[in-house]
Chain A
Amino acid sequence: MAAELHVALVAADREVWSGEATLVVARTTSGDIGVMPGHQPLLGVLESGPVTIRTSEGSTVVAAVHGGFISFADNKLSLLAEIAELADEIDVQRAEQELARAKAEDDTEAERRADVRLRAATAGR
């Protein structure tokens, strides 16, 4: 069995996902970073974007993360985000509507959020 790391994806008000994984790819402020078991202790600032988790069963979990942190030590990885959603929790239709509305109203913040959601939803399928 391949080495694995324990991942906890935690939002401010709930634990979104937790389990064993072999690879986690996330976007930090200085670029995409992939973490595999045995990585050196790391603490980084996350950009808004999709996070990809390859679970030890071989499936892939994608989540939309809106800002936050990644911290890794002792084969335990925590992804902290104020808002985090799994790709299959995201309502694509609503996110599209939201994106159109945000574009019309010139709300960059909302536009970015909707965009991240959509990207995560498409990546998860």
Chain B
Amino acid sequence: MGAQLRVYKRRIRSVTATKKITKAMEMIAASRVVKAQRKVAASTPYARELTRAVTAVGTGSNTKHPLTTEAENPTRAAVLLLTSDRGLAGAFNSNAIKAAEQLTERLEREGKQVDTYIVGRRGVAHYNFRERKVAESFTGFTDEPSYADAKKVAAPLIEAIGSETADGGVDELHIVYTEFVSMMTQTAVDSRLLPLRIEEVAEEGTAKGEILPLYDFEPSAEDVLDALLPRYVESRIYNALLQSAASKHAATRRAMKSATDNAGELINTLSRLANAARQAEITQEISEIVGGASALADATAGSDN
């Protein structure tokens, strides 16, 4: 076998192996998307009921709570960025990071100091490499987040928003995550979690035209709100974590699918080249034989005369 042909054969073998791996990863990601979607669906009843309750307290009483009133002059804000622990998901992480950076820039333009909280090894690595300050980071659970993980993430944030701005507290809390729109589309979005806009919550929480009843609060509206809002934040973060996980798996699936397709194409091209090389080799050999034979024939013909 000629040297060229051997090189092609070797490359085809290596690309075939890669294709097998990406194909397997694609299938794994596909099954995980379904699982993650199911988790998102399972967490909806809790989130829906909680949202209803928050709306009920917010609209049904005149309670003022630090988590629902906007600071007159907000100077510090916290941004929670959700990325994944692992890569190989196309532009998933860079999109989320880009959205967070745009948000940070906007907040800084408004004169606010921004504390960044990060979930996921990818985001942490990005910020560490650029030597940017990270207030706190969480890693190790982005593939399958549990409610306990969401609580762990929410705890320092709720504490920061509860403390005075002068003592390192924050006035606002923003979250950047990747929304799972469909299998094909996932978009990085940012939204303000706190202070809460009751009107906005009301819009997503209740059906159109529904009038909430006048609730009796046990023990009191303030106490209920006090207990309710941290849970609300936790549930929102939990939901964002789940959506982010689902999006990550969908992005991985797509990235791996195109990798598999590319590998297939590469194998085709390489086999054509290998065939051409083999053909060239054969042609060469034939022409050498023919050339040799005719030279021999010429030589014998010459000696006859």
Q: Name A residues whose Cβ lies closer than 8 Å to a Cβ of B.
A: 8, 10-15, 28-30, 33, 40-45, 68-71, 73-74, 78, 80, 82-83
Contact = CB atoms under 8 A, between A and B. Distances in A.
B292 to A, nearest CB: 80
Contact of A43 (B42, B56, B146): B56
B78 to A, nearest CB: 23
B219 A41 contact: no
* Shortest 10 CB-CB contacts between residues of A and residues of B: A44-B218, A41-B213, A12-B147, A43-B215, A30-B219, A41-B215, A73-B213, A45-B227, A78-B49, A10-B45
A15 to B, nearest CB: 5
A24 to B, nearest CB: 14
Interface in B53-71: 53, 56-57
Contacts of A15: 42, 45
A97 B214 CA distance: 45
Contacts, number: 87
Nearest to A83: B147
29 contacts: A8-B49, A10-B46, A13-B39, A13-B42, A15-B42, A33-B218, A40-B216, A41-B213, A41-B215, A42-B215, A42-B216, A42-B217, A43-B56, A43-B57, A43-B216, A43-B217, A43-B218, A44-B219, A45-B219, A45-B224, A45-B228, A69-B231, A71-B215, A73-B212, A73-B213, A80-B50, A80-B231, A82-B147, A82-B151
B56 A69 contact: no
Contacts of B216: 40-43
B278 interface: no
A43 B55 CA distance: 12
Given A43-B57, A71-B56, A82-B231, A29 B45 contact: no
Contacts of B43: 12-14
Contact of B228 (A10, A29, A69): A69
Nearest to A30: B219
Interface string B15-52: 00000000000000000000000010011011001101
A12 to B, nearest CB: 4
Contacts of B223: 29, 45
B92 interface: no
Contacts of B227: 45, 69
A43 B219 contact: no
Contacts of A41: 213-216
B101 to A, nearest CB: 31
Given A43-B53, A69-B227, A13 B219 contact: no
A67 to B, nearest CB: 8
B93 interface: no
Interface residues of B, number: 30
B238 interface: yes
B235 interface: yes
Nearest to B227: A45
Contacts of A45: 218-219, 223-224, 227-228
Interface string B199-242: 00000000000001111111100011001100100110010000
B238 A12 contact: yes
A41 B49 CA distance: 14
A73 B216 CA distance: 10
Given A8-B49, A43-B224, A69-B53, A30 B218 contact: yes
Contacts of B46: 10-13, 80
Contact of B218 (A12, A14, A42, A74): A42
B217 A71 contact: no
B242 to A, nearest CB: 9
Contacts of A83: 147
Contacts of B219: 28-30, 44-45
A71 to B, nearest CB: 5
Contacts of B224: 43-45, 69
A71 B218 contact: no
A80 B39 CA distance: 17
Contacts of A82: 147, 151, 231, 234
